[in-house]
Structures are given as structure tokens and as C-alpha cells.
């Protein structure tokens, strides 16, 4: 949908540009078929200083191409959400191709070739030259080649890391997708939310936390919790660690030790910042690049709304059924952190 809207806007803007130029068609004479240029030259209508060619002309073209490539790169990076060179270059080139062929088929072959508004005085008899469709098709084919350098520049712009987080987010998403094939975008949100806010959203008081831990331990004591590791970092900053309750069930950690670590993780405001909604937008964009199967418009809307309100979410139903998650969040580097048996 984003690409479609971009294409429509780009074509509309290009149409407006052509319309403004057509108010004085002789200014764009060098875009006309050669026979018409030759006639206008004989009539003394052509400004030779604007004739294509020379070092200055090509330097200006190259600079314009570079600038356009940069603008395309910024567009596909921040609007389309591209995060890799290939995605940036391909998306930018696709947009170029759309406008290029819209120009050739619609603006040139349908509009220019048949609208008397483009006919220059003194060339009214050159109907055949004005109807030279092949001239415009050849121009579009050349345009396909000219779009490649701009697309490469756009891809380069996308590949420049906005900050060090982009690479870490991508790696996190790749690891989640590899380790938990049935995970959804909801599970990505959950681990990143835990990493951003810590454990304070899970506990209202110590007694309640202890009672809920005991109840959950009793409920999961005879279940298989091996689908998740003993400990696992949260999000992409790894500010906290998920400690699997199997550590308590297997006798590697006491209930009191785990509870103490959990309380320590929730003892103060652990929020990383105050821009969770903005950060989630970036994470979502990169996550969908890593795993397009995570795309779900309904779920995405729900998670964006949750992010705006800084709300936590549960693991997805698919994740709960497949991986039986039972854990507590503890602070990385906590003095009470348990060293597991080998």
C-alpha cells in the first residue's frame, strides 16, 4: 500500500512538472524528437547554450542523479522501512521504473503525441514526428539504465546505519525467527517491551509476586519447559534476562533466590526512556524485513496501540502452545544472579 501511494504521488508530481514545462514548450525542446529539434534550430528558436553536451552538462547530470538517489534513499528508508542495501536499491529502482514508464506511455505517447498544446509554432506540419512513439519508448529503455546509478545510491543511503541499534534489532529478530519458528510479531514486542521497561509492570507487591510464582511453579512442575533455554536475554539491548522456572523445578535455583532476583529487577523504574512507541515502530519495520511472514495488519495495529499506551502484552497463543514459556525477568549483573550448574 505504501509503495502504491508513493507511485501515485510521484506520477502526479511528475505530471505537474510536465504541465508547467509545457506552458513554454520551446524550453524543453531537447526532449523532442530529433526532426522537430532540427526544424526549430533552422527557425532560430533553439538556444544553443542549452544544448546537451560538454563537461559542465554531464557534471550537472551526475550531481542531479546523486542528489535524486539520496532523496530516494531517504524515502525508502524512512517511509518504506527498508533497512538493507538490496531492499533500498530494489524499492528505489521499482519506484523509478513506475514513473519512467508512466512518463513514456501516458505523458509522452498518449498526452504529448496528441495534444496540440505541445506543438511548437512552425512545426505544425510535422505530425509524423510528433507521433513518433518509438522515440519515447527508446527514451524509456534508456531511462531504465539511468535509474540504476540512482538506485545504487539509494541502497547505499539505506545501508548506512541510523544508529547501532539497527544491526542489533535485526540480529535479535533473526535469532527469534530461528529459535522460535512459530513466534509472531507479538512475541517480538513482548521481549523488546521487557527489555525496555524491565519487570516493574508485572508486580504490584512482593507478597502477590511470591504467591503467583508458587502457583505457577506448581502448575508447570510436571510440564516440559525445555523448548526455552535456562536463561535468555531480553530484546536487543539485553538489559534483563529471562530465567526459566525449570531452574527451580530442577533444583538449580531456589524459589527465594529467583523471587529475590525478580524483586531486584522490579525495585525501581527501569524504563530505558520515554519514547517506546517510536522505538517500537522501528523494531516493527526491521522485524518485517527479517520475517515477512510476521506481517499481520490487525496485530500490527493492536501492537502500535499498545505501544502508544506503554502496555505489556502476553506471548502469542502459538508461542505459548509450542514453547510453554514460564520464566521471570531478572536484572543483568544482579548480585543475586545464580550461576547455573554445568
All cell numbers assigned to 240? 534483563
Name the nearest CA neighbour of 320 among 192, 223, 196: 223
Contact 88, 159 (CB under 8 A): yes
d(CA 133, CA 98): 18
d(CA 7, CA 80): 12
Contact 112, 57 (CB under 8 A): no
Alpha carbon distances (Å) from 310 to 193, 275, 279? 9, 9, 11
Q: Which residues pair with 241 in a beta bridge?
A: 233, 330
Q: Which residues pair with 231 in a beta bridge?
A: 243
Residues 6+ apart with CB under 8 A from 286: 81, 83, 166, 169, 170, 173
Residues 6+ apart with CB under 8 A from 266: 198, 199, 200, 202, 203, 209, 329
pLDDT at 257 (0 to 100): 87
Cα three-residue angle 267-195-298, rounded to 5 degrees: 125
What's the whole-model pTM score? Answer: 0.57
Cα three-residue angle 62-64-68, rounded to 5 degrees: 120
Angle of helix 55-78 versus helix 133-159 axis, rounded to 10: 60
d(CA 156, CA 9): 24
Q: Which residue has the cell 538506485?
A: 151
Domain boundaries, the chain: 2-159, 165-331
Instruction: Say how far residue 282 (Cα) sits from the centre of its chain.
Output: 7
The H-or-E segment that residue 3 falls in is helix 2-22
Torsion sign (Cα): 65, 69, 71, 75: positive
d(CA 265, CA 206): 12
Contact 77, 161 (CB under 8 A): no
**What is the 3-class SS of 54-65, one letter each residue?**
CHHHHHHHHHHH
pLDDT at 163 (0 to 100): 62
Phi and psi, residue 329, nearest 5°: -90, 130
Q: Which residues pair with 328 in a beta bridge?
A: 243
d(CA 174, CA 257): 32
Q: Show pLDDT as tens, one digit a residue, over the chain (342 residues).
A: 788 898 999 999 989 988 887 777 787 888 889 889 888 888 888 877 777 766 777 787 888 888 989 999 988 888 887 878 888 899 999 999 999 999 999 998 988 888 888 888 888 889 898 898 899 899 899 999 989 999 999 999 888 866 668 889 999 999 999 999 999 999 999 999 999 988 755 555 777 778 888 888 888 888 999 999 999 999 999 999 999 999 998 888 888 888 888 877 776 666 777 789 989 998 999 999 899 999 999 999 999 999 999 999 999 999 999 999 999 988 886 544 444 433
Cα three-residue angle 307-212-272, rounded to 5 degrees: 30
Q: Which burial class, exposed, middle or buried, applies to 151 when counting CB atoms under 10 A from its CB (0-12, 13-18, 19+)? A: buried
Alpha carbon distances (Å) from 317 to 184, 185, 244, 335? 9, 12, 19, 34
Amino acid at each position: 500500500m505504501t509503495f502504491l501511494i508513493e507511485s501515485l504521488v510521484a506520477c502526479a508530481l511528475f505530471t505537474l512538472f510536465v504541465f508547467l514545462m509545457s506552458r513554454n514548450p520551446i524550453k524543453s525542446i531537447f526532449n523532442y524528437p530529433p526532426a522537430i529539434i532540427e526544424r526549430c534550430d533552422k527557425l532560430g528558436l533553439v538556444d544553443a547554450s542549452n544544448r546537451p553536451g560538454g563537461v559542465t552538462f554531464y557534471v550537472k547530470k551526475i550531481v542531479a542523479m546523486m542528489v535524486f538517489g539520496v532523496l530516494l534513499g531517504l524515502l525508502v528508508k524512512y517511509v518504506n522501512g527498508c533497512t538493507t542495501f538490496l531492499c533500498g536499491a530494489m524499492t528505489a529502482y521499482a519506484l523509478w521504473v513506475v514513473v519512467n514508464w508512466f512518463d513514456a506511455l501516458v505523458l509522452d505517447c498518449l498526452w504529448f503525441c496528441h495534444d496540440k498544446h505541445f506543438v511548437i509554432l512552425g512545426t505544425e506540419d510535422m505530425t509524423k514526428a510528433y507521433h513518433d512513439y518509438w522515440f519515447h519508448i527508446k527514451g524509456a529503455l534508456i531511462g531504465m539504465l539511468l535509474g540504476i546509478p540512482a538506485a545504487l545510491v539509494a541502497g547505499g543511503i539505506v545501508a548506512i546505519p541510523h544508529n547501532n541499534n539497527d544491526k542489533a534489532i535485526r540480529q535479535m529478530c533473526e535469532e527469534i525467527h530461528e529459535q522460535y519458528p512459530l513466534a509472531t510479531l507479538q512475541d517480538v514486542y513482548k521481549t523488546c517491551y521487557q527489555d525496555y521497561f524491565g519487570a516493574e509492570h508485572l508486580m504490584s507487591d512482593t507478597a502477590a509476586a511470591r504467591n503467583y510464582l508458587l502457583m505457577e511453579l506448581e502448575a508447570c512442575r510436571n510440564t516440559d519447559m525445555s523448548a526455552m533455554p535456562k536463561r535468555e536475554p531480553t530484546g536487543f539491548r539485553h538489559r534483563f534476562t529471562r530465567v526459566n522456572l525449570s531452574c527451580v523445578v530442577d533444583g538449580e535455583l531456589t524459589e527465594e533466590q529467583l523471587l529475590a532476583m525478580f524483586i531486584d529487577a522490579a525495585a525501581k523504574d527501569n524504563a530505558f526512556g520515554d519514547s517506546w512507541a517510536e522505538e517500537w515502530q522501528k523494531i516493527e519495520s526491521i522485524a518485517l524485513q527479517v520475517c515477512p511472514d510476521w506481517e499481520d495488519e490487525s496485530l500490527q495495529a493492536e501492537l502500535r496501540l499498545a505501544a502508544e499506551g506503554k502496555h505489556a502484552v502476553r506471548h502469542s497463543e502459538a508461542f505459548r502452545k509450542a514453547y510453554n514459556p514460564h520464566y521471570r525477568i531478572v536484572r543483568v549483573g544482579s548480585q543475586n544472579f545464580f550461576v547455573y550448574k554445568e
